Amino acid sequence: NPHLEKMEEDILYHFALGTGTHDFPALFGDVKFVCVGGSPSRMKAFITYIAEELGLGSPGYEYPNICAGTDRYAMYKVGPVLSVSHGMGIPSISIMLHELIKLLHHAKCSNVTVIRIGTSGGIGLEPGSVVITRQSVDATFKPQFEQVILGKTVIRSTDLDEQLAKELMQCSKEINQFNTVIGNTMCTLDFYEGQGRLDGAICLYTEEEKLRYLKEAFDSGVRNIEMESSVFAAMCNLSGVKGK
């Protein structure tokens, strides 16, 4: 964004951080991996787990929330790993990603990999399986993210890094703890009707219609459903960040 260079100070409102009040290179300059997920408590548990796996920090250490000045998102850091919550749905993760990408820019980070982790609804898979996303598709199975900007519809690609998918699959084979597949992830605009659920407050379709739709999704290559992957993929592509 060329407009950023004209700003005396860039305030990341929803992180409660700013270039005028925080030394971004000192705080985040060593970041190489960013893991994002919906729940603040889950991302806190994740950073504790990663610290133990990497042999960093002390057992039982209470990692501080870097974004404690706001209740919008939570952020934790250990070594080169940043763990950030993004809430639920495209609008929430979009806001977080705008500020995260700017944070990495101001911190002068390089060769950063961003991975979204979280629960999702599986299609044709046993519970507990892990899906590594090849590309995100919309509810009509198209690999695109559609957004209205200045009154005009803009369509952006949702392909994700293919080499990173292969590397993650290889890691899964070496760990050999989970059934892991590479497939497409369908990103929907809501949790109930958008995902064909029968237990929402409103449901104007039959169970047979739902099952027919899910079979069409599976036949198109979809293996799981969630609500954030499309804008995640689009923004990673546009900003040059390796994402998965």
72 is in an annotated binding site: yes
170 is in an annotated binding site: no
70 is in an annotated binding site: no
147 is in an annotated binding site: no
What does the block give as tokens for 97?
């990603």
134 is in an annotated binding site: no
Q: Are strands 222-226 and 121-122 parallel, antiparallel or unpaired?
A: antiparallel
Edge-first strand listing for the sheet containing 81-85:
75-78, 81-85, 33-37, 113-116, 242-243
What does the block give as tokens for 180?
């892991």
Q: Which amino acid belongs to residue 42?
A: R
197 is in an annotated binding site: yes
119 is in an annotated binding site: yes
Crossing angle, helix 90-106 and helix 229-239, to 10 degrees?
A: 20
Q: What angle do CA 195, 199, 201 make, to 5 degrees?
A: 95
Binding-site residues for phosphate sit at 72, 116-119
Binding residues for substrate: 195, 197
Binding-site residue set: 72, 116-119, 195, 197
